[in-house]
Amino acid sequence: MTEAILSDCNSSEQGENIYRLAEELKIQERKVIDFSIPVNPLGVSKKVKAEIRKHLKYLHNYPDPEAKRLRRRLAQHHGVDPDSILCGNGSTELIYLITRAIKPRKVLIPAPTFSEYERACRMSVESRVMSYELKKENNFSIDHDEFITAIEGITSSKLRTLNSELKCDMAFICNPNNPTGRLLKREDVKRIADAAREMKCYLVVDEAFIYFSPDDSVIKDVGDNPHLILLRTMTNFYALSGLRIGYGIFPQHLIGRLKEYKEPYTVNSLAQRAAVAAIKDKVYRDKTFRLINEEKIFLEKSFKRIKIKFFPSAANFYLLKIDSADKIYDQLKRKCILVRDCSNFRGLDNTYLRVTVKSHKENAILIKELTSILQSLD
């Protein structure tokens, strides 16, 4: 089972491969409409582009290995201690760093969720993974009481678990969850975090998509909980995928250990400058919220009209359940449209797709093509 899972995880970190599709179709990458990766349809903000151009002439200098300027700005933005922040080459680097440095014996991971958690754990010989399976009948939502019970290593008829003879010393939650878009309210995450602290279990909360539900973040609770770790990325909301910039808020006692295992210079100079400029850009944030909210209304109405089942989402993407998902995926690819095939997520199969909320023009193209394909399959 382990080898099969690792093979699946290797296929894609966040979405599909636009470079591979462009090569297959013999077209330029820019002609691919990529709904597979949940990135802001506005693209990189003008202020960030200007900041990058301004600092191109300084590329002969090594980047600041401690990212001090960025950490100060992040600390000010979130109201946290800058010494509790570590920056990384996307939050993915930090996921692997956490498991490498802490070496958990047993880890609880929901299913389906972001596959890199499991892959990072399985690369450590010390770690064994327990799966908390989310139920389709419950819209793939996490039951916080059941999750706490699973951390304790207690199985029930509602939990299908592996290696349940001892309690977990690490657990992951993606909130909102990827690929389901389901959100745990702050009070429920707090309950899990408080229980994890009592059990001396590190709870890693990945808030990659919390920008659309900021009131449900637990970012300010890390300072009061020595077993709570919080991750953020600037990939999705700020469209900085190519620069790879993420950060984590960690309990102070972990910082030294993490630095011992962290490679130097993983966050380049342009990424650091771009991140600082992005955080300052309130106009870009407000415009993003308006666009995503409007387009989510359009997509939900369209999915209902063409009778495609979607799961309620607090993020900028939707998980779709379609019996002919594999055929739809292939036909969309022929039309230079990429959606996320979710068959390699643990707990899902080849009847699930994930689509990103993009610009109105692109969303309208997707709905038009989906309508045409569904009619041809009837």
Q: What is the pLDDT along the chain (378 residues), one digit of tens a residue?
A: 222 343 343 344 456 788 888 788 778 888 889 999 999 999 999 999 999 999 999 999 999 999 999 999 999 999 999 999 999 999 999 999 999 999 999 999 999 999 999 999 998 767 899 999 999 999 999 999 999 999 998 654 344 444 445 789 999 999 999 999 999 999 999 999 999 999 999 999 999 999 999 999 999 999 999 999 999 999 999 999 999 999 999 999 999 999 999 999 999 999 999 999 999 999 999 999 999 999 999 999 999 999 999 999 999 999 999 999 999 999 999 999 999 999 999 999 999 999 999 999 999 999 999 999 999 987
Cα dihedral sign, 133-137-141-145: negative
Helix ranges (DSSP H) in the chain: 2-10, 18-25, 46-54, 68-78, 90-102, 116-122, 144-151, 186-198, 252-261, 269-280, 282-305, 325-334, 360-377
Residues 6+ apart with CB under 8 A from 329: 339, 341, 353
Going from the N-terminus, what domains does the chain have, and what CATH number goes with each? 2-43+283-377 (3.90.1150.10), 46-281 (3.40.640.10)
Residue 203 DSSP one-character state: E
Measured CA to CA in angstroms, residue 26 lies from 8, 18, 22, 326 at distances of 26, 12, 6, 22
Q: What is the pLDDT of residue 154?
A: 64
- pLDDT for residue 37: 92
Q: How many CB atoms lie within 10 A of CB 13?
A: 13
pLDDT of residue 264: 94
pTM of the model: 0.92
pLDDT of residue 304: 98
What is the Cα–Cα distance from 314 to 298, expressed in whole angstroms? 15
| d(C-alpha 190, C-alpha 291), whole Å | 30
Which tokens is 139 given?
Answer: 């819209």
List 246's β-bridge partners, or say none: 88, 233
As a whole number of angstroms, the distance between CA 49 and CA 281 comes to 12
| Distance (Å, whole) CA 119 – CA 107 | 12
Q: What is the C-alpha separation between 234 and 251, in angstroms, rounded?
A: 21
